[in-house]
Chains A and B, each alone.
Chain A
Amino acid sequence: MIENIYVPHLMTITKIRDEAENVKTFTLEFKDSQIGKNFDYKPGQFGEVTLFNIGEAPISITSSPANKGYLELSVANVGKVTSALHQKNEGDVIGFRGPYGNGFPFEEVSGKNILFVAGGIGLAPLRSLINQMFAERNKFGKISILYGCRIPNLLCFQNELDNWAKLENSEVLLTVDACPENDWKGNIGVVGSLLPNIDIDLENTVAFVCGPPVMIHFVILDLLKMGFSGDNIITTMERRMECGLGKCGHCNIGEKYVCKDGPVFSYQQLKELGENI
C-alpha cells in the first residue's frame, strides 16, 4: 500500500492538566506502540491534530524529545477544533499526523548563551527546546527565560518555571501586562520591558522569541535596538495552515511554505522573505 500522508495516527489521551485559564495540556500516547517507538521529533516541530468529525488544527509539540513514549500538547481554546479537544476526557482517542516543520536549531547554537522570550501560549513550543537544552545542559552557556502574559491566570507551566529558575546558570523572569486581582508580586509590563534587567553578552547569545504576532514584532525591535544581529534572533511564524505538508498553499510566504520550510526562521531570513511579519 502507498503511504497516505493525510491519514492521522490514533492517539490516546492519557492525562489532561489545566495549564492556565483556557489552556489545557494533553498527554498523548500512540495507540499503536510500534508507531510510538519510531516517532521522533525536534523541538519546534508541530502536528496536525484531528478531532474526529470536527476537523484539524496545527499544534506544536510541547514535550521534549528527551522524554520518550508520549507527546504533550498545550492548547488554548479558541474555536471549533480546540474547544472540541478541551471537552475530551482522559482515555479518549484523537488523531495526530506529524511531526511537521523544520524545528529549532539545537547543535547549531551549542556553546552559546540562550535567551528565551515568550508570550502566552508561545511558551509551549519553546518549552520543548528548553527542556531538551536542560537535558544536555553542558552544551549551553547561561539560559535566560523571560516570560510574559496579559494577566497572571494565563501563565503556563508554572511549576517548570520555578524549577528552571533553580537550575544552575539559569534565570527566569516573569511579567504580566496587568493584574486585575492585585495578587501579583512580580513585574508589571510587556515582556520586552524585562530585557534591560538581564546581562547579555551580545556576541555569544542567541535569542528565541515566540508568542502572539504583536509581541514577536515588538520584542524583535527591542532585540535589534540592543544590537542583536538578525541571524541571532530565532522566531516561529504563525500562519493559517491546512495541510502541514507544503501542498495546500495557505501558509505560503515568498518561496517558502511556513509549514515545511518553517515555522522556525531567523529574523534575517524573514526580512529576506518580504511579506509582513
Chain B
Amino acid sequence: MSATRIIDKKKLADFLETLSSDCEVIIPTVEDGNLLFSELGSSKLEDSFKGRPIVSPKEYLFPQKEKILAFDTTDKVNVDIKAYTNDKKRVIWGIRPCDLHGIKTLDAIYLSDFVDTYYQARRKNTIMMGLNCNEPCETCFCNSCQTGPFASEAYDVVFTDLGDKYLVKVGSDAGQEAVDKIPNLFAEATNDDEKKAGELEEKSKQSFQRKVDVDVAKQNLPESWDDALWAEESEMCILCGGCNFTCPTCHCFNIEDVQCGEKASIRMRYWDSCQLGGFTQMAAENTRENQAARLRQRIFHKYIYTPDKYDGAIGCTGCGRCIEVCPVNIDITHILGRVASK
C-alpha cells in the first residue's frame, strides 16, 4: 500500500464532509451522555475521541432488527415473496481496533459456507476507518486478546491521534480510493510521525488495568466443564442479554413473521441472546436448562468453539463491553482468571 500520511486534525471534518457527499458517514458521538455511533451531521466531531463507544458498530452490518422478506398471500397460490435489499454506501469512522477485529470474526461466520445475503450486501458497501487507542478504558483487555490497542489488520484506513494531527495508514484499495478523493488534505508522514505513533502504542500497551492469560485460560477451559465456578459466577445473572447485545462478535438471531394486515407479513430477524432461557427451548425440553450452562456456553463459544471452527482466532475481542454493561458485575476477565489459575 501507499506511504503513510498525516492529516491535520482540523481538516478531518473536511475529509469526512467530502466523503459524505456520496455516502453515509457514521462516527462516534455523544447522545444522552453515552458514546454511540451515529450519522455525521447530527454529531459533534470533537466528541468522537472520548474512549470506546458503548456499543460496537456491528449494528450497521447486522442490525438489531432487520426486515428480510415480505410475504403477500392475497393470491393464495401465487404467494408474493419480496426480498429486502440494502445497497446504502457507508463509511464508518472511528472504529476501535477491537471492533475491527470483531468485524473480521463476523465475516468468518456470515461469509463462509452459506453466504448471508444481508450481511454480505452491507459489508460490501461499508468502508471501515479505524482509530487506534492511545488510552484504553478501565474494562478494556484487547492487549491480552491481541486485537489492540493498535490495529494491525481488518481496516480500510486507520488513524492514530498524534495530538494536533493524525497518522493515516491505508489497508485496502477501498481505503486508498477514499483517501485519494481529496489528496491535498493529506501530507506524507515523516519518520518522526511514525516514531511518535510507535511510542504512543507502547505507552498504551503499558496502561491496561486488566490482563488475562488467554493461552492458559484456553488450555484449562475444557477441564473446567463441570466446575462449580459456572454456577457461582452466573448466580446473580438477571438474564438481560446485555453482554450479548454489546458484544462485537455475537451473531445469534431469531427469525419471526410479523403480520401486517390479514394477508401479509414481514419476516424479520432480531438479535438473540444465549443467556436467555428460551434460546434453546424446544417442544419437549430445554437443552441448556440452567444459567451455569448458559454462561459456560458464552465463554466456551468465544474461547473454544470459534477458534476451533474458524481460523484459530478467539471470538473475544477484549473490548470489555460485557463487563461494563452487566448490571450485576459478571466479569469475563475475572472468570477467565479463575479458569487460568486452576
Contact = CB atoms under 8 A, between A and B. Distances in A.
B304 A239 contact: no
Interface stretch (A6-14, A186-194, A223-231): A6-14
Interface string A234-265: 00001110110111111010110000100000
B287 A239 contact: yes
A3 B279 CA distance: 28
Given A52-B265, A53-B71, A255-B309, A78 B283 contact: yes
Contact of B117 (A6, A54, A92): A6
A250 B113 CA distance: 17
A276 B287 CA distance: 7
B253 A254 contact: no
Nearest to A238: B282
A248 B279 CA distance: 11
B215 interface: no
A196 interface: no
Contacts of B279: 240, 250
Contacts of A93: 76-79
Nearest to A94: B79
Given A2-B121, A255-B308, A240 B280 contact: yes
A7 B69 contact: yes
B83 to A, nearest CB: 5
A55 B71 CA distance: 11
A239 B305 CA distance: 17
A253 to B, nearest CB: 8
A4 B77 CA distance: 22
29 contacts: A4-B117, A5-B116, A5-B117, A6-B117, A6-B267, A7-B81, A10-B79, A52-B71, A53-B257, A53-B265, A55-B256, A56-B257, A79-B283, A91-B77, A92-B76, A93-B77, A239-B282, A240-B281, A245-B114, A247-B114, A248-B269, A249-B251, A250-B252, A250-B280, A252-B297, A252-B305, A255-B308, A260-B113, A275-B288
Contacts of B301: 252
A116 to B, nearest CB: 21
A129 to B, nearest CB: 23
Contacts of A52: 71, 73, 79, 257, 265
Contacts of A276: 287
A276 B110 CA distance: 27
Measured as residues with beta carbon below 8 angstroms from the partner, the interface class of chain A is 35 or more
B284 interface: yes
A69 interface: no
A74 to B, nearest CB: 15
A100 to B, nearest CB: 9
Nearest to A273: B305
Contacts of A95: 79, 81
B130 to A, nearest CB: 26
Contacts of B304: 254-255
B308 to A, nearest CB: 4
A246 B83 contact: no
Nearest to A48: B255
Given A54-B257, A246-B114, A248-B254, A6 B83 contact: yes
A95 B267 CA distance: 13
Given A2-B117, A260-B113, A213 B308 contact: no
